[in-house]
Structure 1
Amino acid sequence: MRCGEAGGGFLLLLPRGVLLLLGACSALSLEIKASASVRAYVGEQVALKCSFKSSFPIAETLTVDWTYRPVTGGQMETIFHYQSVPYPTTVGKFKDRISWVGNVANGDASIAIESAAMSDNGTFICSVKNPPDVYHNIPQTMLIVTEKGFSFQLTSAVLLSILVFLPSIIVVVLLLVRMGRKFAVQKEKKKSGCKKSSIEVSDEPEHTGTGSCLGKLRDRCLNCVDTDEEDPY
């Protein structure tokens, strides 16, 4: 900042040729704040926030300018101007898409963009001048527009729920699979006509019931023996 333009200071000649600048230029008297980045979905309205503080009362000469540079690079272009009333751009891709949502009396210089598109991605700069406050910092806002899709944020509560319930779900699934296999084996045994395994049969007293596989086999063998005894040849 050049002190002469800010109306500040004078020189005092001290002994030994030392110059002392009195009433030196103060720090930036107009402070601007804006979000470093803003995210939006295609087709939605997106607000570009900008606030400012001036050491002088708000005057009619106050101006607000928004400039834009595409993410692909290139020169900055003015897309919005305000002085007492808003003047949105009448040319380019932002034509009829920018609206004034600020209030300079409250230190708000925000704008909104309608129907955000991915081609809007780039850098936006908010500049405010309230003479004699015309020097300020230059915050930049990066706009990131993406297609709307499914988004999921893994919070600590969700993670805890997964860790608690996932083992229980796995155990239940394994039990169901085991029960299903056991039921299938029993069903196959019923279809084959054998109600008991060989081990179960050996543990029980011998009998010739028609419902037992061993009984059926024994009956057949006895029939064969009786036939052989009746026919000596």
Structure 2
Amino acid sequence: MRRRGAAGAGGRLLLLLLPRGALLLLGVCNALSLEIKASPKVRAFVGEQVLLKCSFKSSSPITENLLVDWTYRPLTGGPMERVFHYQSIPYPTAAGRFKDRISWAGNVANGDASIAVQSPELSDNGTFICSVKNPPDVYHNLPQTVLLVTERGKLSSAALLSILVFAPSILVVVLLLVRMGRKFRAVKEKGKCGYKKSSIEVSDDRMCCMCELCVLHFGVKSP
């Protein structure tokens, strides 16, 4: 009976300690975690350098053991491939589509793990993931950056569709305004031509003409 009682008490004690242990482990993981931020979407133009930003915050001092890895997966799908590695010094990839086209643009002392992609191409469209480890801080999120490369000067399908829809309407409005303006001027001119003066206005005009003739021929000023 005593053995059974001791076993039962030990089991209850273990059940009480398990949640506390789990909470303690969770707290340790949170204390050792890294916070990483990256732009969710970056637009670039063919042939023009583009910067992929990545920043991090670590609760531990930055040491030479800090690691930065950038991985890439095409939009069409496929396995992830490492395209850049940093540990004290940068190690660009020596093979693959990004060979000699990715350079280090960060500063780990300032929490910056950014890279630059040289001469991006349309086939470079895909997802980049920035990973940072600063032992003992190794637990962190994995922010993704979607790179969208387009040709400069070319309109997107949405912009082109908007132009095709609204351009005819704008043209019709302009033509209607021009036509209304012409009609208004024509009506105004007709009104001027059809205006008749009264007999008094006609006699006044004749008197003015006679006075002007007198001034021209005789130098006589009108009263």
TM-score with structure 1 length normalisation?
0.61
Question: Structure 2, unaligned stretches of length 5 or more?
Answer: 1-9, 160-172, 197-223
**Pairwise CA distance, 1:173:** 2.3
**Pairwise CA distance, 1:170:** 7.4
- The SS at the match of 2:25 is coil
Aligned partner of 2:40 among 36, 46, 62: 36
Corresponding residue for 1:56? 60
**Matched residues in 2 for 1:34 and 1:180: separation?**
63
**Pairwise CA distance, 1:29:** 1.4
Q: Relative to 1, partners in 2 of residues 1:97 and 1:16: Cα closer, same or farther, differing over 3 Å?
A: closer
**Pairwise CA distance, 1:34:** 0.7
Structure scoring higher RCO (CA < 8 A, sep ≥ 6) equals 2
What pairs up with 1:89-168 in 2 under 5 angstroms? 89-149=93-153
Corresponding residue for 1:178? 183
Corresponding residue for 1:25? 26
Q: Relative to 1, partners in 2 of residues 1:173 and 1:108: Cα closer, same or farther, differing over 3 Å?
A: same
**Matched residues in 1 for 2:119 and 2:81: separation?**
20
- The SS at the match of 1:24 is helix
**Matched residues in 2 for 1:16 and 1:97: separation?**
60
Aligned length: 163
The structure whose Rg is larger is: 1
TM-score with structure 2 length normalisation?
0.63
**Matched residues in 2 for 1:145 and 1:35: separation?**
15
Corresponding residue for 1:77? 81
**Pairwise CA distance, 1:135:** 1.2
> What letter matches 2:179 in structure 1?
L
**Between the two proteins, what is the percent identity of the paired residues?**
61
> What letter matches 2:78 in structure 1?
G
Deviations 1:58-116, CA, capped at 9 Å, x for gaps: 01000100000011111100000000110111111111111111000000000010111
> What letter matches 2:133 in structure 1?
K
